[in-house]
Amino acid sequence: MAREIPDATVARLPIYRRSLVELASTGAEMVSSAALADLAGVNAAKVRKDLSYLGTYGVRGVGYDVKFLLRQIGDALGLDIETPVVIVGMGNLGQALAHYGGFSSRGFPIVALVDASDAKVGEVVDGITISHIDDLAAIVDEHAIAVGIIATPAEAAQAVADALVAAGVRSILSFAPSVLHVPETVPLRKVDLATELQILGYYQQRESPAEGGNTDKSA
């Protein structure tokens, strides 16, 4: 199944995908690397190099078939099948994430919500009843959940990560401002909101000449 794709390229595939979805909705059938680069906010050479890791799908002198390319990227990202998600931590952020439609619409339906507080268990958010964290293993099993989102305070995050791994979740997205240790086999990504602002602070302060670092690479 295809070859090894560099991390930096993988991180850009979702952006190409988004651009292609947009293009497809305008009725475009073919797209050149230059046009796609423009939409995705990168340069054309990068687009060609990135796409070349997927395979030789372009047509010289013409460009890429939009629909075909969409399918190829979707396959590479494993979007051909739905990936059920559980959110752990139903504070402000967890609730917002539960309401956020962007996940389900992109193949990551939220099928369970979990919290450690008895006060929250039983409450219904966006049509889903909040369960207790102690039942995590059963819930993950029942819904065949593959991804866990951690939206707890920093102190609880490691224990939650351990519980998610033990329950059989295959990858984790954490919003907790802390370093997490998970087995090598479990892909982990972190988003720390306060950190993002602090990074901006650096560039702002020195009347920055360019984009603030590398969100490009990770989103």
Question: Which stretches of the chain bind DNA, using CB under 7 A?
Answer: 6-9, 31-34, 42-46, 48-49, 51-52, 56-64, 217
DSSP label at 157?
H
Q: Is residue 119 near its own copies by the rule CB under 8 A?
A: no
Of 34, 62, 96, 144, the one binding its own copies (CB under 8 A) is 96
Tokens (6 digits) for 57: 């799908």
**Chosen from its own copies, DNA, none, partner binding at 198 (C-beta under 5 to 8 Å by type):** its own copies
Q: Which of DNA, its own copies, none does residue 45 bind to, with CB < 5 to 8 Å depending on kind?
A: DNA
41 touches its own copies by CB under 8 A: yes
Per CB under 8 A, the list member of 99, 117, 134, 144 interacting with its own copies is 99
- Residue 89, CB half-sphere, CA atoms under 13 Å: how many? 26
DSSP 22-84: HHHHTT--EE-HHHHHHHHTS-HHHHHHHHHHH-S--BTTTBEEHHHHHHHHHHHHTTTS---
Q: Residue 212 binds what, of its own copies, DNA, none (CB under 5 to 8 Å, by partner type)?
A: its own copies
d(CA 217, CA 53): 17
User: Which SS3 state, helix, strand or coil, does residue 92 take?
Assistant: helix
Site string for its own copies, 148-167 (x = CB under 8 A): --------------------
Residue 200 touching its own copies (CB under 8 A): yes
**Is 42 or 121 the residue whose CB approaches its own copies more closely?**
42
Q: Which helix (H) or strand (E) holds 21?
A: helix 7-25
Contact region with its own copies (CB under 8 A), list: 5-13, 25-33, 129-137, 156-164:
5-13
Count the residues in the chain. Answer: 219
Residue ranges in 50-79 that form contacts with its own copies under rule CB under 8 A: 76-79
**Per-residue x/- marks for its own copies, 10-29, CB under 8 A?**
xx-xxx-xxx----------
Strand partners, 124: 129
Instruction: Indicate the SS3 state at residue 176.
Output: coil
